[in-house]
Structure 1
Amino acid sequence: MNQELYEKGLKIRREVVGDAYVDASLKNADEFSQPMQELVTQYCWGEVWSRPGIDRRTRSLMNLSMLAALNRPDELHTHIRGAINNGVTKAEIREVFLQVAVYCGMPAGLGSFKIARQVFKEMGI
């Protein structure tokens, strides 16, 4: 493991999805899943999210559309919260999920709206 990339990724991961989520993910990791936590922190957050070519707000919008299209509700929940933390508005999230519904199907769009409403309620927005 590249410790420098891991630390950079850990910092970004915490800034985007929050300390509580990251702490829980790391605390709940066991011998089997710890390597996945290291991989996602080092490569996803440390290598890709730290790149200068696209800002975090844009990366969040991209993640929302991809996760909705792939029907990954757990990750979508996390990244809706991250998108809000990165300055994406509720209105922009709505537009992303409307686009998903048209291009990926109504079930994907409807499911995304359901998850977003849950996150907004949890965040008090």
Structure 2
Amino acid sequence: MSDDGYTYDDPDLARGAANFKRMFGEIYGAELCKQLHEGPVGMNRFVMTQIGPMVWEREGLDMKTRMFVALAVLAALGREETRFFMRGAFCNGATRAEIEEVLIVTGQEAGFPCAALAAKRLDEAEAQHAAMMARHAAGKDAA
């Protein structure tokens, strides 16, 4: 059994879980793996075993840069998932200032209303990330 509470007898699922943990860090990656098991299993399996590795394991860009690209595109589209990739960026060492710079460029190129909406989501993503890290630290301290 893996540290996220699931058994990965299927090597493709094991690879997908490892990829999510590389993308989003061990803590958040484990939370996302759990969500993938509890949601629409067929679609989630496809994301975890096909789309994710095909895109996120490629050479050429480091993971933080990939997160910046994803969040810029999603911010430009006004998508809710922007927070997801902001949290991924935090897990890959990004700072709030770096994410704000991504949003400024996004605003210049795609329009400031979408960047302003993303900036609100940044506050939420940063708070969610901090709360997750605090929960994890508390759990480690209690162990």
Category of TM-score, reference length = shorter chain: 0.7 to 0.9
Q: What is the number of equivalent residue pairs in this alignment?
A: 118
TM-score, reference length from structure 1: 0.83
Instruction: Give every structure 1 segment of 4 or more consecutive aligned residues whose post-TM-superposition deviation is greater than 6 Å.
Output: none
Show structure 1 runs of 5+ residues with no match: none
Secondary structure at the residue paired with 1:72?
Answer: coil
Checking the alignment, whether the CA contact within 8 Å between 1:5 and 1:46 is kept in structure 2 is no
Show structure 2 runs of 5+ residues with no match: 1-9, 132-143
Paired position in structure 2 for 1:52: 59
> 1:38 corresponds to which letter in structure 2?
R
Q: Among 32, 50, 54, which residue is 1:43 paired with?
A: 50
Q: Give RMSD over aligned pairs.
A: 1.8
Sequence identity of aligned pairs in percent? 26
Secondary structure at the residue paired with 1:53?
Answer: coil
Checking the alignment, whether the CA contact within 8 Å between 2:90 and 2:129 is kept in structure 1 is no
Residue 114 of structure 2 is aligned to residue 103 of structure 1:
no
Checking the alignment, whether the CA contact within 8 Å between 1:26 and 1:37 is kept in structure 2 is yes
Q: How does 1:8-27 map to 2 (within 5 A)?
A: 8-17=15-24, 18=28, 19-27=30-38
Structure ranking higher on relative contact order (CA contacts 8 Å, 6+ apart): 1
| Cα distance in 2 for residues equivalent to 1:94 and 1:41 | 29
Paired position in structure 2 for 1:82: 88
List per-residue Cα deviations over 1:56-89 (Å, max 9, x = no partner): 111111111111112211x211111111111111
Deviation at 1:41, TM superposition (A): 0.9
> 2:33 corresponds to which letter in structure 1?
V
Secondary structure at the residue paired with 2:57?
Answer: coil
| Cα distance in 2 for residues equivalent to 1:86 and 1:95 | 16
Paired position in structure 1 for 2:128: 122
